[in-house]
Amino acid sequence: MKRLTLFALAITLIATVFAAKTPYQAVLQHSRIRGRTHGPNVCAMQKIQGTDKKYFTNCKQWYHRKICGKPTVVSYECCPGYEKVIGEKGCPAALPLVNIYKTLGVVGATTTKMYSERAKLQEEIEGPGSFTFFAPSNEAWAALPTEILDALVSNVNIELLNALHYHMINKRLTSDDLKHGALFPSMYQDFDVHIHHYSNGIVTVNCARLVKTDQHATNGIVHVVDRVITAITNNVNSLIDTDDDLDTLRTAVAAAGLTNLLENEGFYTIFAPTNEAFEKIPPETLTRILGDPVALKDLLNYHILKNLHCSESIVAGTPLETLQGTVLEVGCDGEEMTINGKAIVTQRDKLGTNGVIHYVNELLIPDSAKTLLELVEGSVVTTASKLFKDAGLTDHLIGSEAVTLLAPLNDAFKDKSLAMTPDLKKLLRNHILKEKFSSKSLYHGQELETLGGLKLRVFVFRNSLCIENACIAAHDKNGRYANMFIVDQILAPPMGTVMDVLKADDRFSTLVGAIQRAGLTELLNKKGTYTFFAPTNAAFSAMPPADLNKLMSNVSCLANLLRYHIGEEFLVSGAVTSHTRMKPLTGDKLELGTRNSTVYVNRVPVVETDLMATNGVVHAVDETYVHSTLSQLAAQTKHSSSILLPEQDAGSLFCVTEGSGV
């Protein structure tokens, strides 16, 4: 029964939200549904703790119980247009339909009512007509600086009357009529008021939020707003031109050729860096950007959003697209507006005819305006950054070369010697590719040349894109001239064939002898894409001597066992997922997985991964792997003596000997 009730509630929520005409109506209907257990026409409201700010609730806010990162408390109030009746549940009665002047008192906008009387507006809003009045709340009037309020109520009340007339439109407009981007001529010299109706249900007029909407009157309608609004006459470029605190920005806008853009029609949001913000940037960086038209234009466009967003429209972190093409995470933390998680907005909602300006005290520098060195220093690859500089590669990181840097994560250097040696310098030089690449343009089998002259191979896997053993671990960092790929490993360029790799490592001397005895040397030297889970000397030593001797003396058994350790395809550790299967040269399958950054094959840990070869890759397995392999093979047969185990597909044979522990 409880499940049916929840299902019915979900269906009701979906149906009512989809039936709503506007985002505001959708949020209002959701609030009605949440409040209906308290009676008819009751809406659930969320109030930010410690403030007077209340919001109708949407589904996400309802479950998170947070707005602008701050906890909220839920209250239940009469929905717009309704009131309580003593002795009855909920809000069953419609508010009395009276003229606008009286409605101001009914909705609690008593200060606006008082000033309407003082400005000789009372007669007009009591009389015939069809008006829309955006009435500032009592708190909005109280928030005005004393000098501004004094100026309004002086001068024989003309300024006050003009201010109130700017809050009025000479026709009735419900919240449904307040479309995003709409302009309506006010009753003060026909100066437009600017409406924005956001997808989260927030509605603003000149960036003032509507806190009580659709309060109908006999001669119009009242919407209560959270601030006193002023006439908008200048475009955003004029606002920048006349503000001494934006001198550097004004110069930069002109140099980048963006003046016309900011003068033309539009709905822009500008995060305007103050003079102080520019002064915080190292002089050499600022000089470089100001002297580079391309970087400067990218820098400024990164401060401009494609759409107009008043601060009141932001109730949670939201990725918003800039004119530069990337996004800024615009959010809020209580009363603070944030950009990319930082509270750097010092002044909000300076509205122009074609956009809104928010002042910021830090310069936002996009990757596309940065040198390679700035990309490295501003990311999570701090160890690599230091090593590249120590290796004398700084000139390649600060110049205008079209290169791509492969920068390993800090964890890739764990337990590695960081002493700068000739070999390390050479290796780091091979982390710089000669061209500027995008990861989206790389393809399987492609070869990339490094500054050190090596040719590195590209491998495309289902969930990974790798250059040799190093798999790309983050989105590209696209700089002014060069790009950076953050990778999960230090590059290990191939050092010969699989057989060459094994011969060069003393840990595999027993395996090398076994390969030669089994006649597999030619296979591991020829062209191919093999993955060899190579048993170390310790793996062979873990076998009982008698079993090892029997294995080594039976060439067929030995060859089949070794072929079971060789996968038919190429696979580096970064491409192994939680459930990966590989077909061995002999046998059914190898089961691979990862746990706590360790790769496992048939549940056996790999002790060292990604020994790269020209025809494959070697992964070293510890002393348990040979024994484990034999155990698994024996488990597939009912015999306990020396046996030949038929292969399921190709007729190859495994050999499992007595005494092997199976």
Where do the structural domains in the chain lie, given as residue ranges? 23-93, 96-225, 236-364, 370-487, 498-631
Looking at residue 545, the DSSP 8-state letter turns out to be H
The residue count for the chain? 662
- Percent pLDDT > 70 in the chain is 90
Q: Check residue 546 and give its pLDDT.
A: 87
Q: Check residue 60 and give its pLDDT.
A: 84
User: Phi-psi bin for 658: left (phi > 0), alpha (psi -120 to 50), beta?
Assistant: beta
Strand partners, 196: 204
Is 2.30.180.10 the CATH number for 370-487?
yes
Q: Is 661 a residue whose pLDDT tops 70?
A: no
Yes or no: say if 58 and 67 are a contact pair by the CB < 8 Å rule.
Answer: no
Q: Is 428 a residue whose pLDDT tops 80?
A: yes
Res. 630 pLDDT band, cuts 50 70 90: low
Q: Is 648 a residue whose pLDDT tops 60?
A: no
Looking at residue 264, the DSSP 8-state letter turns out to be S
Taking the C-alpha atoms of residue 470 and residue 491, their distance in angstroms, rounded to an integer, is 6
Res. 533 pLDDT band, cuts 50 70 90: very high
Mean pLDDT of 280-293: 94
For residue range 24-39, list pLDDT tens digits in order.
999 999 999 999 999 9
- 302 is written with which tokens? 């990164």
| 3 state SS of 457 | strand
Q: Check residue 625 and give its pLDDT.
A: 52
Q: Check residue 640 and give its pLDDT.
A: 30
Helix (H), strand (E) counts: the chain: 26, 37
Strand partners, 319: 329
Mean pLDDT of 229-235: 94
Taking the C-alpha atoms of residue 411 and residue 429, their distance in angstroms, rounded to an integer, is 20
Mean pLDDT of 243-271: 96
Q: Check residue 150 and give its pLDDT.
A: 83
**How many angstroms separate the first and last alpha carbons of the chain?**
56
Yes or no: say if 200 and 315 are a contact pair by the CB < 8 Å rule.
Answer: yes
Q: Check residue 167 and give its pLDDT.
A: 97
Q: Check residue 629 and give its pLDDT.
A: 57
Cβ neighbours for 563, distance < 8 A, ≥ 6 positions apart:
520, 584, 585, 586, 587, 652
Q: Which fold has domain 96-225?
A: FAS1 domain (2.30.180)
CATH of domain 236-364: 2.30.180.10
Taking the C-alpha atoms of residue 563 and residue 325, their distance in angstroms, rounded to an integer, is 51
Q: Which CATH class is domain 498-631?
A: mainly beta
For residue range 296-335, list pLDDT tens digits in order.
999 999 999 999 999 999 999 999 999 999 999 999 999 9
In the block, tokens 């601060």 appear at 311
For residue range 203-220, list pLDDT tens digits in order.
999 999 999 999 999 999
CA distances from 80 to 140, 206, 598, 600 (A): 20, 22, 60, 63
Higher pLDDT, 378 or 91: 91
Q: Is 637 a residue whose pLDDT tops 70?
A: no
Res. 223 pLDDT band, cuts 50 70 90: very high
Q: Which of 15-24, 389-398, 426-435, 580-589 has the lowest mean pLDDT?
A: 15-24
Q: Is 4 a residue whose pLDDT tops 70?
A: no
Cβ neighbours for 251, distance < 8 A, ≥ 6 positions apart:
none
Mean pLDDT estimate for the chain: 89
Q: How many CB atoms are located within 10 Å of the residue 198 CB?
A: 20
In the block, tokens 């109730």 appear at 315
**Three-point CA angle 224, 225, 226, nearest 5°:** 130
CA distances from 659 to 359, 545, 627, 632, 655 (A): 79, 10, 11, 15, 13
Q: Is 342 a residue whose pLDDT tops 60?
A: yes
Mean pLDDT of 426-436: 95
DSSP structure string for 568-611: SS---GGG--SSEEE-BSSSS-EEEEEETTEEEETTEEEEEEEE
Q: Check residue 636 and give its pLDDT.
A: 44
Which uninterrupted H or E stretch holds 28? Answer: helix 23-35
Mean pLDDT of 5-17: 46
Mean pLDDT of 577-589: 89
For residue range 497-519, list pLDDT tens digits in order.
999 999 999 999 999 999 999 99
Res. 156 pLDDT band, cuts 50 70 90: low
Res. 20 pLDDT band, cuts 50 70 90: low
Q: Check residue 588 and give its pLDDT.
A: 86
Q: Check residue 440 and give its pLDDT.
A: 95
Q: Check residue 655 and give its pLDDT.
A: 56
Taking the C-alpha atoms of residue 124 and residue 116, their distance in angstroms, rounded to an integer, is 9
Yes or no: say if 43 and 77 are a contact pair by the CB < 8 Å rule.
Answer: yes
Mean pLDDT of 121-130: 95
Yes or no: say if 182 and 154 are a contact pair by the CB < 8 Å rule.
Answer: no
Looking at residue 245, the DSSP 8-state letter turns out to be G
E runs forming strands in 500-582: 530-535, 566-567, 580-582
- 445 is written with which tokens? 């089998």
**How is the beta sheet containing 192-197 ordered, strand by strand?**
168-169, 131-136, 220-225, 208-217, 203-205, 192-197, 183-185
Q: Check residue 9 and give its pLDDT.
A: 47
Taking the C-alpha atoms of residue 637 and residue 646, their distance in angstroms, rounded to an integer, is 9
Domain 96-225 identical in fold to domain 498-631: yes
Q: Check residue 138 and give its pLDDT.
A: 96
Q: How many CB atoms are located within 10 Å of the residue 544 CB?
A: 13
Higher pLDDT, 33 or 640: 33
Q: Check residue 644 and give its pLDDT.
A: 25
- 476 is written with which tokens? 């590209």
Cβ neighbours for 404, distance < 8 A, ≥ 6 positions apart:
432, 433, 435, 436, 437, 448, 482, 483, 484, 485
